[in-house]
Amino acid sequence: MVELGRAGTPMDAVAGVVPSLVFEPADEQETALILRDANQAGLSVIPTGGGTKLDWGNPPRKADVLLSMRRQNRVLEHAWADLTVTVEAGCTIAELQRTLAEHGQRLAIDPLWPERATVGGILATNDSGVLRLAYGSLRDLIIGVTLVLADGTIASSGGKVVKNVAGYDLPKLTTGALGTLGVITRAVFRLHPLPRNTRTLTIAAKDAADMQRVVLAILGAQLAPAAVQVRNGNVDILLEGTRDGIASQESAIKEFGTLQEGSPDVWKAREELWDRAPIVKFTTLPSRISAASASFSRSVIQATGIGFAQVPVGHDGDLAGLRAAMERDGGSLVILGRTQHDAWGSPGDALPLMRAVKEQFDPKGTLNPGRFVGGI
Amino acid sequence: MNPKTLEELRGILGPHGLISSSEELRTYECDGLTNFRVVPSAVVLPESTEEVQAVVRLCHRERIPFVARGAGTGLSGGALPVAGGIVIGLARMKRILEVDLANARVVVEPGVINLEVTGRVAPANFFYAPDPSSQSVCSIGGNVAENSGGAHCLKYGFTTTHVLGLEVVLPNGSLVHMGGKTLDTPGYDLAGVFVGSEGTLGIATKITLRIVKRPECVRTLLAAFHSTNEAGAAVSGIIAAGMLPAAIEMMDNLAIQAAEAAVHANYPDCGGLLLVELDGPVAEVDALMAHVDEICRQNGAWEIRVAQSEAERALVWKGRKAAFAAMGRISPNYIVQDGVIPRTSLPQILSEIDQLSAETGLRVANVFHAGDGNLHPLVLYDRRVPGQEKAAERLSERILELCIEKGGSITGEHGVGEEKKHMMSKMFAEPDLETMQRVRCAFDPLQLSNPTKIFPRTRLCGEKPGEYVAHPLEIAGVAERF
């Protein structure tokens, strides 16, 4: 049976909107039942995992039901010899990684707040982290998904094998969809071995031009860094692999600037930005990282061209201009937190198609109404 | 086809952009899978996005189904024409529009040949990673449709990993842009669902690709085992040791014989041949290669060679990449199958394939992307022997059923197309397929773009699944269900 929902409290607020009811279904079937009934009754549903990023996206037009996935938190199958894992949406990233580590493996991502963030939550918000330089982002690592649609349909796509082109790639479509197409109940990922050794190096750049030069030199060299980020004028480099491999890469990187032994803590710099809200996520090309960093007082920019920055106090109003400039250059600026602005910016000429997809999956607008791009 | 429509098409494309004579149309009656043939009503060869749009608008207005076609090398009948429909051949849209080395991006038209991308950026030490065996002739547009893989996707991923942005003509003729040169563009990952949709969601007219810096070194190890089981155990050992090679390929004895007969790759005559490729910084690769060597020996490898030069490496790969075509040397006819299993099921499925082979008297050669469990069994037969073709088809399909039973897939890289759509309902449940078709309905409500492929049954886009009417008490959580 579906356990009783409880009344929502201010603690459950989604971007400032307090839901009327909170459900914590125990499994896929219960999830489907709640969704189907809510959909039928015209109630809106806000899915949630660890609740770490509930203020991302625009405030919901309404929030009748908060659907917590926290009880569906099992690692269902770690097929370590096949380098895959099937995991329920409510499992935290840290718990998943601990399980995978028992066989020397990992999901090669480093999302925000892993002790609390869940599989479903990072998928919905597409939060991958700095390792994507070497291992790809969530869209590249997810190989299967099970969704419950607004009408209660339980649907799987992809599968348990890494290589599979049968049918449409719904795992990718739902990654980053902010729960507006369906509630993710389980996911299958391809895995990577844990690195044999790791080493963090830092180059203190002389100025913005020097920082840009160092980043492009590292990306342009025949090296294999696991991660590269730009942080307050520093370029941090993560090397993984055999001792010999790391040593030889280190000596090659020495040519690009004066190396300092880095602390593994530098990779927490992105998370540390959240000591003040709101934070913006912006995307640019690797060759424009230094130009982008000049727009913010404090930022962490991954070498893949994905940056996170604090907005200086009292400068909320500048965001529109900043976004326009980023979009003119082919990039984007998304606000992660509440401001007077739309969180997303322009999705371009594909917006009507995105609306058509939403209409097919959730014609009544039950899931996360108004939180996604273009009012979806 | 209605002469007025043909006239209009000629007006859009000029006299050299339209094919309508029945002899010439025959060239387009099939793709690389030749046992399905349909002669289209017309073939158009546009040279620009505008021409593609104009043709698709016409199709939309007149409700004429259309099928996009790249180089026609597909192996699942994805580019098989639809009766009464138009084939839109994209071979003339073959310009490389932009090369941005600093950001490792290349923008191409769909008719550009896969290997030409690498050819263009190789002087700057870059390459385009997806490398299907047909890469010297297949087009990027076709790769996008099929989400093509190749031997190196174990490490580098598939076409979808390397497609960052798309310009697409939707089935109603409108133009949309998905993704872009930067990552994580706001909104749904439409490029993610478009890649691999086998031409059913529209036509890509511009594709932004990610290119990859060439690793400092590439080493290829070739190990001979007494059996595929031993070779498979070595693969497990490599994975368990925490290594992710760029490629791991396996061939059985029959496949080796065929490859030898065709290209003289100088493979050892053995029961199971393993090809392991590592790439990266020299010091890293050297350290890991020693470990791979040791694991192979522990698992019974009786001969190990490491290709020392680029020429040796090329020869080793030539045998593998020629393996499909080489079957012609040892059998008059053969079926190329493409299935996937969780890699650990390899020994089991091989013994089951052996058994099927013994039961039917048909030989099966096996070529695998062993690292990711992608099997390419080649079922050999002789069309002249009555009943043998049917038996071969049955055996080939039975192998796919075994893949599904093991939790695998009916296709790893060749696509569903026409050939395997009846297998989709064995792999997926009805709600799974129905949900996928919602995507179809959003992109192509009239179902004009390659309408007969992938799905065993098409869903009418107007139809909504029956909805259950819930009691208000259930919603409030006061009452229970079941």
- Whether residues A286 and B103 touch (CB distance < 8 A) is answered with yes
Where exactly does CATH 3.30.465.10 map onto chain B?
96-213
- Whether residues B193 and A247 touch (CB distance < 8 A) is answered with no
Q: Is B474 helix (H, G, I), strand (E, B) or coil?
A: helix
Confidence of residue B151 (pLDDT cuts 50, 70, 90): confident
In contact, A287 and A211? CB cutoff 8 Å: no
- Whether residues B373 and A161 touch (CB distance < 8 A) is answered with yes
Structure tokens at A317: 């109003």
Cα dist from B176 to A340, B31, B181, whole Å = 29, 28, 15
A residues 226-245 closer than 8 Å to B (CB):
241-245
Task: Kindly state the helix (H) or strand (E) to which residue B99 belongs, with its residue range.
Answer: strand B96-100
Cα dist from A348 to A353, A374, B74, B177, B312, whole Å = 10, 10, 32, 7, 49
Chain A: residue whose CA lies nearest to B371: A82
Q: Which of A307, A251, A250 is nearest to A281 (CA)?
A: A307
- To test the contact with chain B by mutation, choose from A162, A219, A223, A366 the residue with the greatest count of B C-beta atoms within 10 A, namely A162
In contact, A188 and A84? CB cutoff 8 Å: yes
- Whether residues A244 and B284 touch (CB distance < 8 A) is answered with yes
- Whether residues A172 and B189 touch (CB distance < 8 A) is answered with yes
Q: Which domains does chain A have, with CATH numbers?
A: 6-70 (3.30.43.10), 75-193 (3.30.465.10), 197-264 (3.30.70.100), 270-343 (3.30.70)
* For chain B, percent of residues with pLDDT exceeding 90: 83
Interchain contact B149–A (C-beta under 8 A): yes
Distance from CA of B388 to the nearest CA of A (A): 28
Nearest to B102 among A4, A224, A287 (CB): A287
A81 interaction partners in chain B (CB closer than 8 Å): 236, 239-240, 343-344
Which residues, other chains included, contact A80 with Cβ-Cβ below 8 Å and sequence gap of 6+? A100, A103, A105, A191
Structure tokens at A158: 């992809």
Predicted local distance difference test score (pLDDT) of residue B477: 44
- Whether residues A166 and B175 touch (CB distance < 8 A) is answered with no
- CA dihedral in degrees (A145, B401, B410, A184; nearest 10)? -10
- Whether residues B454 and A287 touch (CB distance < 8 A) is answered with no
Q: Which amino acid does the sequence have at A159?
A: G
Is the domain spanning B96-213 CATH 3.30.465.10? The answer is yes
Interchain contact B280–A (C-beta under 8 A): yes
B179 compared with B239, residue with greater pLDDT: B179
pLDDT over 70 at B465, yes or no: no
Distance of alpha carbon A321 from alpha carbon B34, whole angstroms: 56
Find which of B96-100, B318-322, B365-369 is predicted with most confidence, using mean pLDDT: B96-100
- Whether residues A248 and B281 touch (CB distance < 8 A) is answered with yes
Confidence of residue B470 (pLDDT cuts 50, 70, 90): very low
- Whether residues B184 and A332 touch (CB distance < 8 A) is answered with yes
Structure tokens at A320: 């529109």
pLDDT over 80 at B190, yes or no: yes
Predicted local distance difference test score (pLDDT) of residue B371: 87
CATH code of B217-405, in short, is 3.40.462.10
Nearest to A37 among B161, B240, B475 (CB): B475
pLDDT over 90 at B279, yes or no: yes
Nearest to B193 among A83, A172, A349 (CB): A172
CATH fold of B3-89, please?
A: 3.30.43
Alpha-carbon dihedral sign for residues B11, B17, B20, B21: positive
- Whether residues A157 and B480 touch (CB distance < 8 A) is answered with no
Chain A: residue whose CA lies nearest to B461: A360
- In the block, which residue shows the tokens 């941005």? B100
- Whether residues B244 and A163 touch (CB distance < 8 A) is answered with no
- In the block, which residue shows the tokens 């070497």? A134
- Whether residues B192 and A169 touch (CB distance < 8 A) is answered with yes
pLDDT over 50 at B480, yes or no: no
Q: Is B376 helix (H, G, I), strand (E, B) or coil?
A: strand
Distance from CA of A151 to the nearest CA of B (A): 7
In contact, B144 and B93? CB cutoff 8 Å: no
pLDDT tens track for B87-146: 999 999 999 999 999 999 999 999 999 999 999 999 999 999 999 989 999 999 999 999
In contact, B17 and B86? CB cutoff 8 Å: no
Q: Which of A336, A279, A304, A309 is nearest to A109 (CA)?
A: A304
Distance from CA of A298 to the nearest CA of B (A): 21
Interchain contact B450–A (C-beta under 8 A): no
Predicted local distance difference test score (pLDDT) of residue B98: 98
Nearest to B342 among A161, A172, A356 (CB): A161
Distance of alpha carbon A230 from alpha carbon A228, whole angstroms: 7
pLDDT over 50 at B466, yes or no: no
Distance of alpha carbon B47 from alpha carbon A216, whole angstroms: 36
Q: At what angle do helices B346-360 and B388-405 cross, to 10 degrees?
A: 160
pLDDT tens track for B203-232: 999 999 999 999 999 999 999 999 999 999
* For chain B, percent of residues with pLDDT exceeding 70: 96
Interchain contact B481–A (C-beta under 8 A): yes
Interchain contact B178–A (C-beta under 8 A): yes
- Whether residues A361 and B428 touch (CB distance < 8 A) is answered with no
In contact, A236 and A262? CB cutoff 8 Å: yes
Structure tokens at B42: 């017309």
Predicted local distance difference test score (pLDDT) of residue B436: 97
The DSSP string of A258-292 is -EEEPPGGGGGHHHHGGGSS-EEEEE--GGGHHHH
Counted residue by residue, chain B has a size of: 482
- To test the contact with chain A by mutation, choose from B127, B131, B182 the residue with the greatest count of A C-beta atoms within 10 A, namely B182
B482 interaction partners in chain A (CB closer than 8 Å): 1
Q: What is the mean pLDDT of residues B176-180?
A: 97
A residues 27-66 closer than 8 Å to B (CB):
33, 36-41, 43
Q: Is A308 helix (H, G, I), strand (E, B) or coil?
A: strand
Distance of alpha carbon B274 from alpha carbon B267, whole angstroms: 10
Distance of alpha carbon A48 from alpha carbon B421, whole angstroms: 36
Q: Which contacts of B345-348 are long-range, i.e. CB under 8 A and separated by 24 or more positions?
A: B345/B373, B345/B406, B345/B407, B345/B408, B346/B228, B346/B232, B346/B235, B346/B370, B346/B373, B347/B228, B347/B229, B347/B232, B348/B406
pLDDT tens track for B337-350: 999 999 989 989 99
Where exactly does CATH 3.30.43.10 map onto chain B?
3-89
- Whether residues A169 and B196 touch (CB distance < 8 A) is answered with yes
In contact, B106 and B86? CB cutoff 8 Å: no
pLDDT tens for chain A, 376 residues long, are 455 789 999 988 888 889 999 999 999 999 999 999 999 999 999 999 999 999 999 999 999 999 999 999 999 999 999 999 999 999 999 999 999 999 999 999 999 999 999 999 999 999 999 999 999 999 999 999 999 999 999 999 999 999 999 999 999 999 999 999 999 999 999 999 999 999 999 999 999 999 999 999 999 999 999 999 999 889 999 999 999 999 999 999 999 999 998 899 999 999 999 998 889 999 999 999 999 998 898 999 999 999 999 987 777 778 899 999 999 999 999 999 988 899 999 999 999 999 999 999 999 999 999 999 999 9
- Whether residues B103 and A220 touch (CB distance < 8 A) is answered with no
The DSSP string of B417-435 is TTTTGGGHHHHS-HHHHHH
Task: Tell the burial category of A174 from Cβ atoms under 10 Å away from its Cβ (0-12, 13-18, 19+).
Answer: buried
With b for 16 or more beta-carbon neighbours within 10 A and e for fewer, the A206-224 pattern comes to: eeeebbbbbbbbbbbbbbb
B residues 115-134 closer than 8 Å to A (CB):
125
Predicted local distance difference test score (pLDDT) of residue B412: 95
- Whether residues B187 and A286 touch (CB distance < 8 A) is answered with no
Distance of alpha carbon B171 from alpha carbon B173, whole angstroms: 5
B284 interaction partners in chain A (CB closer than 8 Å): 224, 241-242, 244-246, 248-249
Interchain contact B243–A (C-beta under 8 A): yes
Q: Which amino acid does the sequence have at B387?
A: G
B170 interaction partners in chain A (CB closer than 8 Å): 353
With b for 16 or more beta-carbon neighbours within 10 A and e for fewer, the A84-117 pattern comes to: bbbbbbbbbbebbbebbeebebbbbbbbbbbeeb
Chain A: residue whose CA lies nearest to B183: A283
Size of interface A-B (CB pairs under 8 A): 313
Where exactly does CATH 3.40.462.10 map onto chain B?
217-405
Predicted local distance difference test score (pLDDT) of residue A3: 59
- To test the contact with chain A by mutation, choose from B152, B184, B189, B401 the residue with the greatest count of A C-beta atoms within 10 A, namely B184
A359 interaction partners in chain B (CB closer than 8 Å): 442
